[in-house]
Structure 1
Amino acid sequence: MNALLDEYYRYDLHNVGFIERKHSIGDENTLIYGITQSGKSALIKNYLLTHKKSTYLYIDCRDMRIDITELNDTLSQFCREHKISILALDNYYEEIALIEIDQIILSSETSLELPYHTIHLELLDYEEFLAFESKFDSTALNHFFQLGGFPAMHRIPSEDRVLYLQSTMSRALEPIEFSILSQASKMVTQKVSAFNLYERLKGERKISKDKLYLHLQSLFDRGYLKSLSKFNHPSAVKKLYLCDIAIKHALTLQKHFGRIFENLVFLELDKHHIECYYDEGIDFYLPERGQIIIASAFANEHALFKKVEALEGFIVSNRVREVIAVTMNLESTLSHPISRIEMIPFERWALSDE
C-alpha cells in the first residue's frame, strides 16, 4: 500500500479550466457532498493546487487497487514521514479510518456525521451557469435549457451529451435506481407516490415494494430526485422533480416543455433554499414571502388573469401579496384588486436578489 500512496503523492494534479463556484474550501476540516459530477473533485483540486505540492496527499477512494485494511494501517505513518499537512479523500466512504492531521478534506454523495465544515455542492444554478458560458448573450438561456446544471456538459460535444449522462447515471446508480430514475423522468412535476412508481416498474422488472421504497428513498437522500409537499397537507402525495432537466433529456424521448420549465423554476427555488409548497392550481407557494409562483413559459395576460381569479380564495385566506408568473421572455404588470401580479422572464427572475 505504501507504493500506491507514494504514487498518489507524486501525482501532478490537473484542474484545467476550473471556474469558480459559489462555494470554496477554507483551511478547516471540510466535507463536500453532492451527486455525481456536481464538481466536488474540481473544487478539491482547485484548493490543493494553491498549496505546495509536498504538503498534500490526494487519494481517489474509488481506486480498485486500494485495500482498506492496509490503507488504514499505513496512511497515518505515510503522512508523518512525508510531513503531509492536508489529506484529501475524494469519493470517501466510512470504512476508511480518519487520521490525526492538520486538515482533512472529504467528498461524498451524502452528508456524514462528522464535526467538519460541510459544503452541499449542488449542480449549477442559472447564475453559476452563466460563468461557464463563453459569452453572455441571448443564447445563454437556451443553452441552460439544453445543458442543465452539470458543469462537465460544457466540455462535452453536443452529439455525446446524451450518452455521457446515460453513462454517468448508470455508473453512479444501482440498476434498480437507474430504472427508478428513468421512470421518474417521465413523471416530472406530477403528483407521484412510491406506489405509483412501483406499479409502473413491476411490469418491467421483478422487484419487491420494500426494495423499491428503499432505493427510491436513497435517490431522494442523495439528491437525484426531489419532491414538493402540498401546503398544510404533509401527508398528501408530493410532486416529483429531477435534480437536473438534462437527465430527462437523456433518459426519455418525451418532450413536454411546460414540465421541463416548471422543473427549472423549482430547482432555482430549491438551490436557494426557499421554503415552498404546491397547492391546487398553484405551482409554488412561498409563505414566508407571501408569494405565489406560477411557471408559465408562454403565459399571456388574459390567461394569467383568469388563473388568478380562480385562486382568489387562497390568495385572500393566506394574505398573498404577490403573484409572479415566470415566463420565457414576456414581462408585464397586471392590475388586480387583491394582489400584485407580475410576469417576469426566467432570466431576470433567476438573477434577482429577492
Structure 2
Amino acid sequence: MEILLEEFYKTDLHLDKFHDRKVQIDEKSYQISGITKSGKTQLVKSYLLSHKKNSYLYIDCDDIRIDIEQLNNLLNQFCHNNRIDILVLDNYKKGVDFANVSQLLITTALKLDIPELEYINLYPLDYEEFLAYEHKYDSSALNHFFQLGGLAIMHKIYADERNIYLQHILKNALDDMEFDILVLCAKLNSQKLSAFTIYERLKAKRKISKDKLYKSFQNLVEKKYIHQLEKFDHTKATKKLYLCDTSLKSALCLEKNFSRLFENMVFLELIKKSKSVYYEDEIDFYLPQNNEIILCKPFADERRLFKKLENIEAFLFTHSITKITVITMTKEGSVSHPLSKVDIIPFDIWALGD
C-alpha cells in the first residue's frame, strides 16, 4: 500500500480545457457532492494544479488496488513524512480515515454528515457556464444546450455515441432499481409523480418490493438525480418531478414533449439560482419572495397567453403578484394586464440575467 501511495503522490495530474465554475474552492476543507459527471473531479484538480505538486496528495478511492485497512494505517504518517498540506479523497468511501492535514477535500455522490467540512453541492452546468464551452455565442447555442445538457463531458462525445454513453455512466453510478426508476421519471418529467405511482407502474413489469422502491426513489432524490417541487401551501399534495439534466430525456426514453423538457430546463436554472420556488394549479413556478410567477411558453401565442392569465387571475389577486415572467424560446415583449407586469423573455436572456 505504501508503494501505491508513492505512485499517487508522484503521478502528475492532467486537466483538459477546464472552464471556471461559479462554485469555487478556497483554503477551507470541503465535501463536494453531485451526480456523476457533474464536474466534481475537474473542480478539485483545477484547484490542486494551482498549488505546488509536492504540497498535495490526490487519491481516487474507486481505485480497486486500495485496501482501506492498510490505507488507514499508513495515510496519516505518509502525509506527515511528505509534508502534505492538501489531501483529496475523490469518490470517498465510508471507512476511509481522514489524515491530519491543513486542508481536506472529499467528493461524494451523496451528502454525508461531516460537520467539520464545508458543503458544496455541484450541479451540472447552468446555461451561463455552458456558454464557456461554445466556440461562439449565437442562435445555435441554446439548441446545443438542449442537445447536450449540462454535463461538460458531453462536448467531447460524438453525437452518435452520446445516448449510449449516458446510459452506461448512469448504469455504473446507480443500482438496477434506481436506474429503472430514473428511466420512468425521464418519461414523465415535469409532471406530478409520486413514488407510489412509480411502484404501480413498475410492478407490472417486474417483481418489486415497495419498501425497496421507496428507498431507491429517496436515494435518487438525495443524490439529486431527480428533483421534486412542492405545491404552494400544500405539502401533502403530489410533487412535480424534474430530471437533474435535460440530456437524460432523450438518452433514457423515446417519448418527446418539448414543452415539458423546456419547463424542466427552466426549473434547473431556478434551483441553481437558489430560488424558493413552488408550483400551483395552472402555474409552472411561483416565487413568493419575488411576488412573481413564471410561465413556460416556448412558442408563446398571445391569444392563449391571455386565456391563461384569465384563468389565474384569482391567484394573482389573492397573492398580490406584481410580476409575471413568460419564458419563451425566441419571442420577446410585454403584455398589458391590470394586476401585474407581464414580461415575455427568451430563455437565453432570462437565464443570463440577475
User: What SS is found at the alignment partner of 1:132?
Assistant: coil
User: What SS is found at the alignment partner of 2:99?
Assistant: coil
**Match in the other structure for 1:234:** 235
Q: Residues 98-117 of structure 1 correspond to what in structure 2 (within 5 A)?
A: 98-114=98-114, 115-117=116-118
User: What SS is found at the alignment partner of 1:260?
Assistant: helix
**Match in the other structure for 2:219:** 218
**Match in the other structure for 2:43:** 43
**Match in the other structure for 2:55:** 55
Higher alpha-carbon deviation: 77-86 or 317-326? 77-86
How many residue pairs end up in the alignment?
A: 353
**Match in the other structure for 1:66:** 66
User: What SS is found at the alignment partner of 1:135?
Assistant: coil
Using the alignment, how far apart are the partners of 1:141 and 1:214 within structure 2?
36
Deviation at 1:118, TM superposition (A): 1.9
User: What SS is found at the alignment partner of 1:307?
Assistant: helix
Deviation at 1:29, TM superposition (A): 1.1
User: What SS is found at the alignment partner of 2:13?
Assistant: coil
Q: Give the letter for the 2:346 counterpart.
A: P
Using the alignment, how far apart are the partners of 1:342 and 1:305 within structure 2?
13
**Match in the other structure for 2:89:** 89
Structure 2: segments with no counterpart, 5+ residues: none
**Match in the other structure for 1:333:** 334
**Match in the other structure for 2:23:** 23
Do structure 1's residue 125 and structure 2's residue 138 form an aligned pair?
no
Q: Give the letter for the 2:180 counterpart.
A: S
Deviation at 1:94, TM superposition (A): 2.3
Using the alignment, how far apart are the partners of 2:84 and 2:336 within structure 1?
65
Q: Cα deviation per residue 1:280-321 (whole Å; 9 max; x = unaligned)? A: 111111111111101110011111011001101010000011
TM-score with structure 1 setting the length: 0.98
Structure 1: segments with no counterpart, 5+ residues: none
**Match in the other structure for 1:290:** 291
Deviation at 1:176, TM superposition (A): 0.6
Q: Residues 175-324 of structure 1 correspond to what in structure 2 (within 5 A)?
A: 175-324=176-325
Deviation at 1:338, TM superposition (A): 1.4
Percent identical pairs in the alignment equals 50
User: What SS is found at the alignment partner of 1:22?
Assistant: coil
Contact 2:35 2:223 in 1 (8 A): yes
Using the alignment, how far apart are the partners of 1:28 and 1:127 within structure 2?
26
Using the alignment, how far apart are the partners of 2:149 and 2:333 within structure 1?
27
Deviation at 1:205, TM superposition (A): 1.6
Using the alignment, how far apart are the partners of 2:18 and 2:344 within structure 1?
36
Deviation at 1:325, TM superposition (A): 1.0
**Match in the other structure for 1:13:** 13
User: What SS is found at the alignment partner of 2:131?
Assistant: helix
Using the alignment, how far apart are the partners of 1:311 and 1:29 within structure 2?
48
Q: Give the letter for the 1:328 counterpart.
A: M
Using the alignment, how far apart are the partners of 2:125 and 2:22 within structure 1?
9
Contact 2:38 2:124 in 1 (8 A): yes
Higher alpha-carbon deviation: 103-112 or 260-269? 103-112
Q: Cα deviation per residue 1:257-290 (whole Å; 9 max; x = unaligned)? A: 0110010011111111111111111111111111
Using the alignment, how far apart are the partners of 1:214 and 1:24 within structure 2?
32
Deviation at 1:86, TM superposition (A): 1.1
Q: Give the letter for the 1:102 counterpart.
A: S
Deviation at 1:223, TM superposition (A): 0.3
Q: Cα deviation per residue 1:207-244 (whole Å; 9 max; x = unaligned)? A: 11100000000000010000111111000000010000
Contact 2:90 2:108 in 1 (8 A): yes
Deviation at 1:110, TM superposition (A): 1.9
Deviation at 1:112, TM superposition (A): 2.1
Deviation at 1:117, TM superposition (A): 2.1
RMSD: 0.9
Using the alignment, how far apart are the partners of 2:224 and 2:247 within structure 1?
15
Deviation at 1:201, TM superposition (A): 0.7
Do structure 1's residue 138 and structure 2's residue 139 form an aligned pair?
yes
Using the alignment, how far apart are the partners of 1:229 and 1:82 within structure 2?
51
After TM superposition, the runs of 4+ consecutive aligned structure 1 residues lying more than 4 A away are none
Contact 2:79 2:99 in 1 (8 A): no
Using the alignment, how far apart are the partners of 2:331 and 2:117 within structure 1?
45
Q: Give the letter for the 2:267 counterpart.
A: F
Q: Cα deviation per residue 1:12-71 (whole Å; 9 max; x = unaligned)? A: 100011111111211121111111111010111111111111111100000111111111
**Match in the other structure for 2:345:** 344
Using the alignment, how far apart are the partners of 1:219 and 1:211 within structure 2?
12
Using the alignment, how far apart are the partners of 2:282 and 2:52 within structure 1?
57
User: What SS is found at the alignment partner of 1:107?
Assistant: strand
Q: Give the letter for the 1:32 counterpart.
A: I
